[in-house]
Amino acid sequence: MTIERRLARSDFTLTRDYPAPVNRVWDAFADEQEKLSWWGAGDAMEHRAWVFDFRVGGRDVAEGKFHDGPVSRYEATYTDIVEHARIVTTYDMWLDGIHMSTSVASLEFEPIDEGTRFTHIEHGVFFDQFWADAPQREAGTLGLLDALGGYLA
């Protein structure tokens, strides 16, 4: 089987206002037990691997098999952390063991009168047969932000 070699790029910015103070929203990312409570696909997948090392140079890994579907693997490295202000990661995604993408994501936490303005900015590159999946990344990230909002409520 010949694989067509190509790249697709996807850049997006998502902003949400959460009715919770910055330290509460921050802890949803910085505290392992809190992150486990909302991150990922919940009951939609069988969880297989989890690593949480929240520090500059630390790695996060989340792997699971979607019921009747593929195995998804996320591996991130924290490149910058400024408490209660920002988190920057580079991360790679695999689907059934095939490297599908590499991204840089910045997460910004801004206090506002109503709570916290959270901004997720991402720049991704999608490889070969996954080039058409680029728009799905934004949709998947929106799902994570919805899960975070539900968790914070």
pLDDT in tens, 95-121: 999 999 999 999 999 999 999 999 999
For residue 104, what pLDDT is reported? 98
**Interval 119-131: pLDDT, tens:** 999 999 988 876 6
**Interval 142-152: pLDDT, tens:** 989 999 999 99
Superfamily in which the 7-42+81-152 domain is placed by CATH:
START domain (3.30.530.20)
Cα 19 from chain centroid? 21
Q: Is the pLDDT higher at 46 or at 43?
A: 46
Q: Is the pLDDT higher at 3 or at 32?
A: 32
Residues 94 and 88: beta-carbon distance below 8 Å: no
Comparing C-alpha atoms, which of 21, 4, 6, 12 is closest to residue 118? 21
Q: How far apart are CA 15 and CA 150, in angstroms?
A: 16
* Domain spans in the chain, listed from the N-terminal domain onward: 7-42+81-152
Q: How far apart are CA 4 and CA 58, in angstroms?
A: 34
Q: What is the CA radius of gyration of the chain?
A: 16
Question: Per-residue pLDDT for 132 more than 70?
Answer: no
